[in-house]
Amino acid sequence: MQNIGAYGVELKDRFLWLEAINRETGALQRFDHEACQSGYRQSMFKAEERERWVIVRVAFALDRDAPLCTEYGASQSELEAMGVAESATHFDVAQAVMNIRRSKLPDPNELGNAGSFFKNPVISREAFQKVLANHPDVVHYALESGQVKLAAGWLIEQAGWKGARRDTHGVHDRQALVLVNHGGATGAEVWQLAQDIMASVKERFGVTLEPEVNQIGLDAT
């Protein structure tokens, strides 16, 4: 129920419209890109209109001639490993991204998880300089707005949480952004772990992490 993105491409760049049912009236309504108010890991369905709509259909505008995006993360090196770096197609890039994701993220059929639990924090240039002064190796990305996006996974890993386990739940050992359920964990336990991680990152880096997941029911068992 939000704008998502990975490896240099965002859903909003290909989004055309969606249709949703009003839970109060049962009416079907169509929303275009502007109406959805898409932002970084955000939309109106996750903000002021949360819990009001059930999305039932989404339309995308795809372009066979769209330029390939291979500069982000390990995309280029994966294409090289596949032997198609010089002649990559859209299908090849999609396959490369899926290969990378499978190498880092747990299969939900084998290990329960909520996917990437935290947003990459976006901070001002001034705040970034303070982080950089104490942590010169911080993973970051400069934005056109002048702000700086930090890699939440790096912050969490540096705070010592990658692979941490609390009996029934913990942090994935290959991707610190992912919280996992080893079996029998409650929502309250997972949410407490998330809060502890946020407090730890705040204490070490002075940066506030924000959950990416919808927080409805996270305090329930």
Is 41 among the residues known to form the active site? yes
Over residues 143-167, the mean pLDDT reads: 94
Give the type of residue at 26: G
What was the pLDDT predicted at 9?
83
Give the active site residue among 41, 43, 75, 78: 41
Q: Give the model confidence (pLDDT) of 53-74 as tens digits.
A: 999 999 999 888 888 888 876 8
38, 43, 75, 116: which one is catalytic? Answer: 116
Residue 39 scores a pLDDT above 80:
no
Mean pLDDT of the chain: 89
CA 74 to chain CA centroid, nearest Å: 16
Distances, alpha carbon 29 to alpha carbons 26, 63, 91, in Å: 10, 26, 33
- Residue 102 pLDDT: 85
Distance of CA 81 to the CA centre of its chain: 25
Q: What is the percent of the chain with per-residue pLDDT over 90, rounded to a whole number?
A: 59
Tell me the whole-structure pTM to 2 decimals. Answer: 0.72
- The question of whether 212 is a catalytic residue gets the answer yes
Q: How many CB atoms lie within 10 A of CB 89?
A: 11
CA-nearest of 62, 68, 65, 66 to 15 is 62
**Residue 52 designated active-site:** no
Give the model confidence (pLDDT) of 92-135 as tens digits.
999 999 998 888 888 888 899 878 899 899 999 999 999 999 99
Q: Does domain 5-60 have CATH number 3.30.465.10?
A: yes
Write out the residue limits of the CATH 3.30.465.10 domain(s) in the chain: 5-60
The CATH number of 112-205 is which of 3.40.50.12280, 3.40.50.700, 3.90.78.10, 1.10.3720.10?
3.90.78.10
- pLDDT of 215 reads 62
Give the residue range(s) of CATH 3.90.78.10 domains in the chain. 112-205
What confidence score (pLDDT) does residue 30 get?
A: 96
Determine the angle formed by the axes of helices 75-82 and 90-104, rounding to 10 degrees: 110
CA 207/CA 195 separation, integer angstroms: 13
**Predicted pLDDT at 216:** 56
- pLDDT tens digits for 169-180? 999 999 999 999
pLDDT-above-70 percentage for the chain: 96
Burial 137-168 (b: 16+ CB within 10 A, else e): ebebeeeeeeebbbbbbbbbbbbebbebeeee
* 150 has a pLDDT exceeding 90: yes
Buried b / exposed e over 123-136, threshold 16 CB at 10 Å, is: beeebbeebeeebe
CB atoms within 10 A of CB 219: 11
- Kindly name the residue from 38, 75, 78, 212 that is annotated as catalytic: 212
